[in-house]
């Protein structure tokens, strides 16, 4: 398969619902994509400006200060205290890594890439572009022989599923039995809301309680798009097994996959400051505290969503019917079928709209005859 064989971009199917929602007298409330709307923090913008004399090619491996900042961040925020700069690598956002990882690992015909049943579609796309076979399975005990790459997503997009230390350790054991690379997409790990995640840090696949003393075959993927409002910077990184990181570094050098030098400097500054992350989380918490009860009062059930940037909601009917009903209120959601065959009755609502728009959505839901 090649990129020319991919289906139409799925979000094109949402255009009619967007057009209908935009006709609402109070305007569109767009809760579909999840693109950050809050300002990039000033200290990060200043850091970017300071580094704009970028006359030389940037380093694919990352500047020493960025690599050290990633190592320090994992120790401080994720409880992973034994990384070195040989274990980390910056990427041009996380989506390109997710899409390219099967190709960069040399996977192809006959190889299996496992991903969650309800999942960000790029896991599937990346497998298909490499010529591998994507398989949607959640339970590690059911992961098949022949699996070469296994994706987990914690907290999950769209459903907020979050893996415990014991669950991650079981996943590691099974992946090692299979000889598979286990990649954990952890981009929403700072956004815990309910249950134990209201007070406990969300664990990483690299947590020493998970790894049994070895990072072999393990990768953690992270992005600054959500916690630092850097989606437009394309600022992300991976960490884990030094052998795999080294192989990916070599491939990325050949392909010219390197974050721009000013972005690398801005990333290092962002990773060193926890206060702006705390402030942004509180904004998302306030929006969530408005939107969730409004949805429930309007007849939706919220499933999962214990962490992450979304509410995973269902009325117990076809997702496209819910999309149409919400569009009639001027609210645009994301359709569950985009996230796999197991979510035909769900819609995803992002917390990234401005607070005023979230408040407006709640008012409309409170008056709705759903």
Same domain, residue pair 286 and 301: yes
Same domain, residue pair 280 and 269: no
Cα gap 245→211, rounded to integer Å: 17
Find the domain containing 324 and state its range: 3-39+276-367
pLDDT higher than threshold 90 for residue 128? yes
pLDDT per position as a tens digit, 334-348: 999 999 998 999 999
CB 93 within 8 A of CB 99: no
pLDDT higher than threshold 80 for residue 107? yes
Same domain, residue pair 203 and 340: no
Among 273, 290, 321, residue at a domain's last position: 273
Among 251, 273, 295, residue at a domain's last position: 273
Residue carrying the six token digits 């992270």: 222
Which DSSP helix (H) or strand (E) runs through 142? none
Residue carrying the six token digits 């286990």: 182
In this prediction, residue 161 carries a pLDDT of: 96
Total structural domains within the chain: 2
Same domain, residue pair 118 and 246: yes
User: Is 194 part of a structural domain of the chain?
Assistant: yes
Same domain, residue pair 176 and 284: no
- b/e map of 332-356 (b: 16 or more CB within 10 Å)? bbbbbbbbbebbebbbbbbbbbeee
Residues 6+ apart with CB under 8 A from 210: 165, 168, 169, 172, 203, 204
Q: 114 pairs with which residues across the strands?
A: 135, 150
pLDDT higher than threshold 90 for residue 268? yes
Cα gap 11→32, rounded to integer Å: 9
Of residues 312 and 341, the one with the higher pLDDT is 312
User: Is 220 part of a structural domain of the chain?
Assistant: yes
pLDDT per position as a tens digit, 272-285: 999 999 999 999 99
User: Is 286 part of a structural domain of the chain?
Assistant: yes
pLDDT per position as a tens digit, 343-365: 999 999 999 999 999 999 999 99
Same domain, residue pair 253 and 140: yes
What's the CATH number where 356 sits? 3.90.1150.10
Percent of residues in the chain assigned helix, strand, coil, to nearest 5: 45, 15, 40
What's the CATH number where 138 sits? 3.40.640.10
CB 127 within 8 A of CB 153: no
Among 248, 273, 298, residue at a domain's last position: 273
CB 233 within 8 A of CB 224: yes
pLDDT per position as a tens digit, 8-48: 667 788 999 999 999 999 999 999 988 999 999 999 999 99
Region 125-141 average pLDDT:
97
pLDDT higher than threshold 80 for residue 60? yes
What is the phi/psi pair of residue 237, to 5°?
Answer: -165, 165
Cα gap 322→189, rounded to integer Å: 29
pLDDT per position as a tens digit, 222-257: 999 999 999 999 999 999 999 999 999 999 999 999
User: Is 119 part of a structural domain of the chain?
Assistant: yes
User: Is 316 part of a structural domain of the chain?
Assistant: yes
User: Is 50 part of a structural domain of the chain?
Assistant: no
User: Is 47 part of a structural domain of the chain?
Assistant: no
User: Is 335 part of a structural domain of the chain?
Assistant: yes
Q: 310 pairs with which residues across the strands?
A: 350
CB 201 within 8 A of CB 79: yes
In this prediction, residue 144 carries a pLDDT of: 97
- Long-range CB pairs of 15-20 (<8 Å, 24+ gap) are 17/323, 17/324, 17/326, 17/327, 17/332, 18/327, 18/332, 20/324, 20/327, 20/328
pLDDT higher than threshold 90 for residue 311? yes
Same domain, residue pair 158 and 286: no
Same domain, residue pair 61 and 125: yes
Cα gap 71→93, rounded to integer Å: 18
Same domain, residue pair 248 and 333: no
pLDDT higher than threshold 90 for residue 369? no
CB 62 within 8 A of CB 88: yes
Same domain, residue pair 211 and 102: yes
Same domain, residue pair 159 and 239: yes
Same domain, residue pair 267 and 146: yes
In this prediction, residue 299 carries a pLDDT of: 95
pLDDT per position as a tens digit, 318-332: 999 999 999 999 999
Cα gap 190→194, rounded to integer Å: 13
Confidence of residue 305 (pLDDT cuts 50, 70, 90): very high
Region 139-157 average pLDDT:
97
Cα gap 318→332, rounded to integer Å: 16
């Amino acid at each position: 398969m090649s990129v020319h064989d991919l289906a139409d971009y799925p979000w094109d199917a949402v255009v009619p619902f967007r057009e209908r929602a935009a006709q609402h007298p109070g305007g569109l409330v767009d809760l579909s994509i999840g693109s950050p709307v809050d300002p990039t923090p000033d200290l990060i913008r200043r850091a970017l400006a300071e580094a704009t004399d970028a006359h030389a090619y940037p380093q694919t491996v990352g500047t020493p200060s960025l690599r050290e900042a990633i190592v320090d961040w994992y120790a401080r925020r994720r409880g992973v205290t034994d990384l070195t700069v040989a274990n980390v690598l910056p990427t041009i956002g996380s989506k390109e890594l997710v899409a390219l990882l099967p190709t960069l690992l040399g996977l192809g015909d006959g190889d299996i890439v496992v991903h969650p049943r309800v999942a960000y579609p790029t896991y599937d796309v990346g497998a298909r572009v490499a010529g591998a076979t994507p398989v949607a399975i959640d339970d590690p005990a059911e992961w098949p022989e022949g699996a070469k790459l296994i994706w987990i997503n914690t907290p999950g997009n769209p459903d907020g599923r979050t893996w415990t230390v014991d669950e991650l350790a079981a996943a590691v054991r099974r992946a090692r039995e299979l000889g598979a690379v286990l990649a954990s997409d952890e981009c929403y790990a700072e956004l815990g809301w309910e249950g134990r995640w209201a007070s406990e840090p969300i664990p990483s696949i690299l947590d020493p309680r998970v790894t049994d003393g070895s990072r072999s075959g393990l990768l953690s993927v992270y992005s600054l798009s959500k916690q630092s409002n850097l989606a437009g910077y394309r600022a992300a990184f991976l960490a884990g097994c030094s052998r795999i990181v080294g192989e990916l570094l070599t491939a990325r050098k050949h392909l010219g996959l390197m974050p721009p030098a000013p972005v690398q400097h801005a990333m290092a500054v962002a990773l060193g400051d926890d206060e702006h992350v705390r402030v942004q989380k509180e904004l998302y918490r306030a929006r969530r505290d408005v939107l969730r009860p409004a949805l429930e009062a309007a007849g939706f059930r919220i499933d999962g969503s214990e962490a992450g940037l979304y509410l995973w909601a269902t009325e117990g009917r076809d997702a496209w019917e819910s999309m149409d009903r919400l569009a009639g209120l001027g609210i645009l959601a994301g359709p569950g079928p985009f996230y796999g065959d197991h979510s035909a009755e769900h819609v995803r609502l992002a917390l990234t709209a401005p607070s005023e728009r979230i408040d407006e959505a709640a008012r409309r839901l409170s008056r709705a005859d759903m």
